[in-house]
Structure 1
Amino acid sequence: MFGGGDSGPRFTGPTTGDERRMLIDVLSAQRATLQLKCSGLGPELALRSVAPSTLSLLGLVRHLADVERRWFRRVLAGRDAPTLFSSTADPDEDFHGATDDPTGVAAAWEAWRAEVAFAERFVTEAPDLDVEGDDSWRGTVSLRWVLIHMIEEYARHNGHADLLRERIDGAIGL
């Protein structure tokens, strides 16, 4: 079982006050939850949920690395940053390309950490939440919208991670 009755250090941010601080802290807690759900695992990270799904914890790490990259590097920072684990020809490669190869597992975590670090720097250096970028799917988006979207993205996938981890070793909880 993960943790006990409390939420640990992941959910200790402010509950009132500055919007920017709250959004940053909630997103940080969601990122930490993904790490927690994957903690202590190696090749098992690539175990699939239920056929025919290709969903796995490692697939989630790869997917979220690409999601972080898209919104912060490409859309908001305007950088030319191709996806890492998927492509236009194979948009689900982030999931079905996740294998139990230790090198691939390490590469996925390294990529995810690099994208999170970039995003954290970008948010810290942004003058305000109204910084905008252009996206082919949503049009013009603000940093505020991206932070809210990222919280939603992680929260949804952390629900998947709960079930995947329970299937692997029975671990449940926060």
Structure 2
Amino acid sequence: MADVTGSQPGNPHRDRTFGWRNKPVHPHGDPRSDGGFVGERDTLVGHLRDQRITLQMKCAGLDAEAMARRTVEPSNLSLLGLVRHLAGVEQTWFRRVMAGQDEPRHYRTADDPEGDFNGAVADPEVVAQAWDTWRSEVAFAERFVAGAPNLDISGTDGDEPVELRSVLVHMIEEYARHNGHADFLRERIDGRVGR
């Protein structure tokens, strides 16, 4: 790959070189798919799976301090905050909206609506708990989608019905957006870049 140099003043990576040395995996070891999905359900489920894997790859190999580091101030974003936030998003759309389970939301309360980010502190137990919660919600979502007779089934978001297919599209969008944030956060932590 070609070298790319930045030209903005104050950029600590002005002379960075892009190549596989600073990316999470070599293309031959990438656990994400290369497409080839067949049909609507497989396409949506496959792309969402790839986005979930991307989040894990963006966080791979980091300790609690790095996971909780807010590297793009004044934003309160951190990789740990994103994991916590996406656990809550999974819970909201699949468990609460689609399955109709009335459970308290993870991390967020009326008193602290940004608790997913505000509570993302550099504690190994907080990091482990966030990943456990995220994995539990992803597993619930995967079981729910696999058991759905079709993508036309609806849940209720407030007073509005919402189809499972719309939830899957929204989740792909949500992960893609936050994985873009994760790109910048990770690069500021240790220079790792990648897709």
Map of 2:118 onto structure 1: 96
The aligned length equals: 172
- Tell whether the 8 Å contact from 1:4 to 1:173 is kept in structure 2 after alignment: no
Map of 1:144 onto structure 2: 165
1:162 to 163, 180, 183: 183
Distance (whole Å) between structure 2 residues aligned to residue 12 and residue 124 of structure 1: 21
- Structure 2 unaligned runs (5+)? 1-21
Distance (whole Å) between structure 1 residues aligned to residue 154 and residue 28 of structure 2: 37
1:62 to 80, 84, 87: 84
TM-score, normalised relative to structure 1: 0.94
The amino acid that maps onto 1:21 is D
Q: SS of the counterpart of 1:134?
A: strand
TM-score, normalised relative to structure 2: 0.84
- Structure 1 unaligned runs (5+)? none
- Tell whether the 8 Å contact from 2:98 to 2:164 is kept in structure 1 after alignment: yes
Distance (whole Å) between structure 2 residues aligned to residue 96 and residue 54 of structure 1: 7
Q: SS of the counterpart of 1:11?
A: coil
Distance (whole Å) between structure 2 residues aligned to residue 173 and residue 54 of structure 1: 23
Q: SS of the counterpart of 1:10?
A: coil
Q: CA deviation at 1:6?
A: 6.4
The amino acid that maps onto 2:150 is D
Higher RCO structure, 1 or 2 (CA under 8 Å, sep 6+): 1
Q: SS of the counterpart of 1:61?
A: helix
1:1-174 to structure 2, matched below 5 A, reads 1-2=22-23, 3-4=25-26, 8-15=30-37, 17-43=38-64, 44-136=66-158, 139-174=160-195
Q: CA deviation at 1:82?
A: 1.2
Divergent runs of 4+, >4 A: none
The percentage of counterpart residues that share the same residue type is 58
